[in-house]
Amino acid sequence: MSRPLSRRTLLLAAGGAAAGALVGCSTGGNDTVSSTGEYEFTEPTPAATVVAEDQRSPAPAFSGELLDGTPFESSSLAGDVAVINFWGSWCVPCRVETPEFQAVHADVADRGVQFLGIDVKDQRQMAVAFVERLGVAYPSVFDPRGEVAMAFRGFPANVVPSTILLDRDGRVAAVYTGQVRGEDLRAAVELLLAEDRA
């Protein structure tokens, strides 16, 4: 008759399984190109950095409706560096991050950089009040069901705020999970603006 496993043994086994699952989700490095050539999230990008150009893959197309009811197509981002920020009016870190994003936006908007918010798990009236209160000048897609996040394969849609940067060729150049400092965002945007287009 076998002896029952101790609580410590069970905890160690569970911890090992969890660690194995985490390792299994990552392909290593900053590889974001799947076997089909489409973008697939593997891990966050270190702050204030971007993925090497030869490791980038095209962002998926997506569409939606802006907070003011205007239709939006991701094709309108083409040719510019794009900062896509997932946020919610209920998100405490978003209240800190959003004014810093607005400050960077004000400085770089005339240099070929577009900012787009993606408002998730929210109510439209709360989201509109949020952007008005913080003086946000860039548009936001109203996405209460998180459909835009699902278009980015493997993207951790439950992590809010999160930010995706696209280069001028529409490729995913960085994915930041959690709050991003304004100075780190500015540094990453400057790296993308400095890149030569082929």
Instruction: Note whether residue 17 is domain-resident.
Output: no
pLDDT digits over 110-163, tens only?
A: 999 999 999 999 999 999 999 999 999 999 999 999 999 999 989 988 899 999
Name the domain count of the chain: 1
46 domain residue, yes or no? yes
- Rounded to a whole number of angstroms, the CA Rg of the chain reads 19
* Structural domain includes residue 162: yes
Query: Is 14 among the domain residues?
Result: no
Residue 11 lies in a domain: no
Put simply, whether the predicted model's pTM sits higher than 0.85 gets the answer no
pLDDT tens for residues 32-54? 445 557 799 999 999 999 999 99
Tally of CB atoms within 10 A around 85? 26
Residue 141 sits in a domain whose CATH number is 3.40.30.10
Q: Is pLDDT at 80 greater than 60 in this prediction?
A: yes
Residue 99 lies in a domain: yes
Per the listing, tokens 């540094």 go with 187
Query: Could you list the residue range(s) of the whole structural domain that residue 79 is in?
Result: 33-193
In a domain, 103, yes or no: yes
List the alpha helices (DSSP H) in 26-140.
92-108, 124-134
Phi-psi region of 105 (alpha: psi -120 to 50; beta: other; left: phi over 0): alpha
The answer to whether position 174 is within a domain reads yes
Supply 195's token pair. 């890149």
